Structure 1
């Protein structure tokens, strides 16, 4: 068994696709029209056949309060692994990405947290193995 797909709820699929591809560097994998929304996924360019991230519209009544509570408490909705968290922080900061936490060493991992512009906090993590 392996993880095939995970979801991040977004307030605007077009805005999310731009942010996750043009800013974070993922690539679009699937885009299937489904009424007013789409089945829209991105993947890491390093693993094009790896786990897909579904950019799911947040229009279900339970999602917006859930997302707001996570953000209010500073809890990331997802975590992405990076080779060098300081380099990614610098690169994204230059692109205007807003961070809620600067790179912080926490034992075997260094993390930083950013705002994805779509209602979520995302944690970037560098594991020191």
Structure 2
């Protein structure tokens, strides 16, 4: 019956800004970008994971009311949401490449637990852990 998780969403404050970051800097590609009135369904995916999409969603009507949307955006900006994990072949090389593209890291690469990891945030404040094994 279940075939697996297809889409996981993150809240972003500006979908165009998020799209530029996830496609232009992280190397994702657009999967779906459709509008229904003021609502926009925007997903991106990694070329290496064609069955998985990351939704870049702006909180607000019709999903939540304006006050809840504002509270969610504030939580995201503070880094209060759980971090996402990006698997890479070489954490240190990816760190240098992304830093060169202007990605702001909150933690430089560190070796631990048999892997190397670094941390960064997207323009909305969503935390990412980048891990290379």
Tell me the C-alpha RMSD between the 2 structures. Answer: 1.8
User: Deviation string for 1:25-45 (max 9, x for gaps)?
Assistant: 000000110322310000002
| Equivalences for residues 85-104 of structure 1 within 5 A | 85-104=91-110
Please tell me whether residue 123 in structure 1 is matched to residue 119 in structure 2.
no
Structure 2 gap segments, 5+ residues each? none
Do the aligned residues in 1 keep the contact of 2:118 with 2:130 (CA within 8 Å)?
Answer: yes
TM-score (norm 1): 0.85
Following superposition, which runs of at least 4 residues in structure 1 exceed 6 angstroms of deviation? none
Contact conserved, 2:12 with 2:73, CA < 8 A, in 1? no
Paired positions, count: 123
TM-score (norm 2): 0.82
Listed as ranges, the matches of 1:12-51 within 5 Å are 12-47=14-49, 49-51=50-52
Tell me, yes or no, if structure 1 residue 57 matches structure 2 residue 58: yes
Q: Return the offset for 1:66.
A: 3.3
